[in-house]
A and B are shown apart, each in its own frame.
Chain A
Amino acid sequence: MLFQVKNLVVRYEGAEILKGISLEMEEGEIITLIGNNGAGKTTALRAISGLKSPHSGEILFRGQRIDNLLPQDIVKRGISQVPEGRALFPHMSVSENIRISGFLRNDKQGIKEDLDRIYDSFPVLKERSAQRASTLSGGEQQMLAIAMALMARPTLLLLDEPSTGLSPKMVTEIGRVIYNIHKSGTSVLLVEQNANLALSLAQRGYAIETGKIVLSGFAGELKKSEHVKRAYLGQ
């Protein structure tokens, strides 16, 4: 087991946002957590990345508890998040954004290689490498946010609603990027409101509603489920 969340409870100012969720994934899997606005998806990712300490429950990575670690130690262990809303450093250039995302690494050669690889897979970022991050379009910013998370060479990549606010064409493009990242051996946990995209990329999925997992299963089965069709696919 690569990653496991057990009975995770997270509270904000007394309100229980996550009411004991559990999920698990094997190395190399791509899974999704779908749910509507306010269901607790972002809160779950914040707890996994160490930005918010859980009230109770456990988060395990390679069998070791990580729910009491600081964000930088979680990144060091191989979990890297692409946060909601493309949290970039707006007044730094594209290349500075990518370079500083390798902050914890000391292998200069490796950082350079990764930078080249990123420019190969995202040519638009290379074109715009000297531009301020805030001047990029929404889709380009999402590419940059993903590139930044990859600079940590993660074993597990967490993506928080990468399709939000993008044109349908860009959504397809981001979908292709996520598919390729998974193909190259990185495990992916994709959090999405866009269940259509999420269930076509993921192998398995969980549906979260008001802080509880209400459904889980293989992506193909979920797509056929009446509940998912009604609640998430708008059919």
Chain B
Amino acid sequence: MDRNSNAYTFLFVILLIAVVASTLALTATSLQPAQAENVKNEKMQNILGTVGIEVVRDSAQIPFEKYIVQRIALDNKGNERTEVNAFDVDLKKELKKPVAEQSFPLYVANVEGSKYYIVPLRGKGLWDAIWGYVALKDDVNTIKGAVFDHKGETPGLGAEITQMWFKKAFDDEKILDSSGEFVGVSVAKGYQGGDNKDDNAVDAISGATITGDGVTDMISERLVNYLPYFKNKTNVKVASN
């Protein structure tokens, strides 16, 4: 057959595409379970990381079930949505819905008698999505720990948000200001506060201003929706005292 004829060209392309597409489809489907398992285990590992429990990714399941005593899905008014499985809520999809229709997953951890509320976060960095988990202590004001991750931030700059030194700065920070108003924690450029835990700010990463702002925004935008629920919690406690 003439290699320059249109018929040959079409035949070649059709065959090539059939081979390539079936190879890729086959690999993608056969690797899907292993990939999903990795993602699920990593999610459990990250959630446990916020309350100071470091586990190996592949064996995250058992400690997760031991320490995470409750998984609740909330609406933005603070009511529980019993029909939604909190662990399966995909924030990427939820964020596209209007706020009133979104489900807000909340994990309650019990570590050696202390109760922690773990809130999943998701926002935008410089290149792509960033996400994380922040654990609040029982006073729903002080941060126990935070974990961040990203899809495509610049290595050495924005990607540093996953590093221990950046995460550590969030420990014991407050999300309410001194008058009790919700402000979140801002990642501040040119931070001068040192180790001050009451100024609602941590030191930013040089060269990663936009990623840092993304972290600030996702903390305040996501946490604000949990405030009604937390308010109920604290009111109940005040009443019972």
Report whether chain A binds chain B: no
B residues near A (Cβ < 8 Å) are: none
A residues near B (Cβ < 8 Å) are: none
